Structure 1
Amino acid sequence: MDVVTFGEAMVMFVAEEPGSLQKVSRFQRALAGAEVNTAIGFARLGLKSGWVSKVGNDVFGNYILEQLRQEQVNIEQVHISASFATGFQLKAKVSEGDPEVQYFRKHSAASHLSVADFDEAYFRSAKHLHMTGIPLALSSSMREFAKHAQSFMRKEGKTISFDPNLRPALWTTKGEMIRVVNEYAFKSDYVLPGIEEGKLLTGYTKPSDIADFYLKRGVKLVVIKLGSKGAFYKSCDEEGYVPGYRVSKVVDTVGAGDGFAVGLISGILEGMPVFQAVMRGNAIGALAVQSIGDSDGYPNRKELDSFMQKYHGEDAACSVQ
């Protein structure tokens, strides 16, 4: 495989009408979960991706597996639990901005993923591990799985990317969240925080200072997502801003950060210069915000190339500092 990731997937019910979730009567079913979003994104670009998790022996779990089969994501290491159910969520419909989301995931099957479920041969077969901070908050067993996976891949000489993907509601305290998330970020090659996440995790406000916080602790590359303004990247050798792409209308921002990770990491794995990989990340993020589902807007290779060529030289120019 090119990329392996792990985490929780949920069935998502998206409101078909705007307004408070408690008043909505009609919903559309879809798939959700940061790590599964990236697995789908990689697969659509033609990379071989694998996703590791647990789902319940129920209709939600079967739906998730069927969707991933259709997306050609490797699910050989998705375990079926007879004791715990698959989580789900409700998401509001909005005309712009971040939608209201309510989760039903406590004690889910995925939260019981443990080191006993780790398959060395499966992870060894992948070139790269992509992680987010979400599994670290779900349970102690999932955090141990994450620790084991990260340590194993480092020992095997594989590259590791880490997207904090902060979910404060899942943590006991803000201090614990910052401490644990940074612990895993420091042991990764590429760290991909949003600007507000970076401020919270480091105490700094400027992108360059946020990047230095991680670079001084051994991270090779830090890319900070700046929303519609694009992204800032910095390594020991280079740094720069890559402007974002203009879109006519933002439908839903959920999944844009995961799409950005897909573009960046796929570009790096294919040997692109960093600024071009960041440009690809910006492009997939821009496509993602134009659709309702978390991963619905992720492109295949042809769609991505067409979108980037349309804007090349105008909105996707790179300014290196």
Structure 2
Amino acid sequence: MENRRSSSPQVLTFGEAMAMFVADDQGDLSAIEHFHRRLAGADNNVAIGLSRLGFHVGWLSRIGTDSLGRFIQHALSAEGIDDRYLHTDTQHPTGLMFKERAEEGADPRAEYFRRGSAASYLSVDDASTIDFSSLTHLHATGITPALSESACQLTRHLMQQARAQGASISFDPNLRPSLWPSEDAMRDTLNALASHADWVLPGLAEGQLLTQQETPDAIADAYLARGAKAVVIKLGPEGSYYRGMLTGKLESFTVPGQPVAKVVDTVGAGDGFAVGLISALLDGLSPKQALNRGNLVGAQAVQVIGDMEGLPNRQQLQALEANHPDA
């Protein structure tokens, strides 16, 4: 595949991008005849969001030689994603999913067709050409290690290599229990991976399940004890909670969420939050400013249909922040 840029990416994300067919009308998928095709995948949502904000982002994945694989490659390239680490798999298909049209404020139901997909065959070999010395940041989620044992090994390898080269690492557990053999396996694997991250970004319910702690500060302390520099817990409409030492001393605070007039689709809100938070920290902003930006971008994501359509470019972000001076 042709490289879009001659220099190596400064930010790397990886995982499974899928073609997503969103129902045109509300109702059970069995009764829907018309769909719109879009791009889906938590990891590539973050890649797209950071690319729109001007970061040179690389994407590591596998796609099939089918039309859906070509659709994904073209969609990511159109977003300015560096595709030099996107591998074509001639033996396995591209994953896809179907999603209901959600009622206002509700979480839409989805059906996945990803078992045996090209991305489930990701392995350490797919990272053989990565220039880790060029990386400033790696973003990982808990979805990729759930795809297969080889994909889990790749996740661990990328996090270890990025840390060895001094890149910062963010980790969003992004739980998908149906992909794991058991809750214990999910908990043990993701907590072990979190120990390789600098910034751990669970939702409140995710943090409770993974750490078996109830309060945000106890959840954060569990990950700080594992080596994280900061833990940011997503609280949904209530905002986000920070506990960490990014300023050189231990700080804890909650930042209120951004009001939203109408929630259209909640899927992608956490990815939008990650885009805002990561971009702010890479821009050198304070933790409180980073949480404010995370809340602001997450609020944009829930106001549109689709997982990443609401993510702003740099000019739009500057306008949003100007209109929300507290952020």
| TMscore range, shorter length | over 0.9
Structure 1 CA distance, aligned partners of 2:216 and 2:230?
A: 13
Q: Offset of 1:147 from its aligned partner?
A: 1.2
Q: Offset of 1:2 from its aligned partner?
A: 2.8
Paired amino acid for 2:278: I
2:33 maps to 25
Structure 2 CA distance, aligned partners of 1:194 and 1:37?
A: 17
- Give the stretch that moved more between structures: 131-140 or 235-244: 235-244
Contact 2:258 2:296 in 1 (8 A): yes
Q: Offset of 1:120 from its aligned partner?
A: 4.8
Q: 1:97 aligns with which of 74, 89, 106?
A: 106
| Structure 2 residue matching 1:4: 3-state secondary structure | strand
Q: Does 1:70 align with 2:83?
A: no
Q: Does 1:224 align with 2:233?
A: yes
1:147 maps to 156
Q: Offset of 1:124 from its aligned partner?
A: 3.0
Contact 2:26 2:102 in 1 (8 A): yes
Q: Deviations over 1:217-272 (max 9, x none)?
A: 21100000000010000114211111111111001111111111111111111110
Q: Offset of 1:309 from its aligned partner?
A: 2.2
| Structure 2 residue matching 1:93: 3-state secondary structure | coil
Q: 2:269 aligns with which of 232, 242, 256?
A: 256
2:165 maps to 156
Structure 1 CA distance, aligned partners of 2:160 and 2:89?
A: 26
Contact 1:89 1:101 in 2 (8 A): yes
Contact 2:258 2:295 in 1 (8 A): yes
Paired amino acid for 1:42: L
Q: Offset of 1:303 from its aligned partner?
A: 1.2
1:319 maps to none
1:88 maps to 96
Contact 1:54 1:110 in 2 (8 A): yes
How big is the alpha-carbon RMSD for the aligned residues of Structure 1 and Structure 2?
Answer: 1.0
Contact 2:51 2:57 in 1 (8 A): yes
2:215 maps to 206
1:276 maps to 289
- How many residues align? The count is 314
Q: 1:125 aligns with which of 129, 134, 138?
A: 134
| Structure 1 residue matching 2:106: 3-state secondary structure | coil
Structure 2 CA distance, aligned partners of 1:274 and 1:97?
A: 30
2:5 maps to none
Paired amino acid for 1:102: E
| Structure 1 residue matching 2:232: 3-state secondary structure | strand
Contact 1:6 1:131 in 2 (8 A): yes
Q: Offset of 1:22 from its aligned partner?
A: 1.2
Paired amino acid for 1:99: P
Contact 2:132 2:165 in 1 (8 A): no
Contact 1:245 1:311 in 2 (8 A): no
2:4 maps to none
Q: Offset of 1:294 from its aligned partner?
A: 0.3
| Structure 1 unaligned residues grouped into runs of 5+ | 317-321
Structure 2 CA distance, aligned partners of 1:101 and 1:182?
A: 27
Q: Deviations over 1:69-105 (max 9, x none)?
A: 1100111110001100000000000122210011000
Paired amino acid for 2:186: M
Structure 2 CA distance, aligned partners of 1:123 and 1:32?
A: 26
Structure 2 CA distance, aligned partners of 1:28 and 1:123?
A: 37
Identity of aligned residues (%): 48
Structure 2 CA distance, aligned partners of 1:30 and 1:39?
A: 16
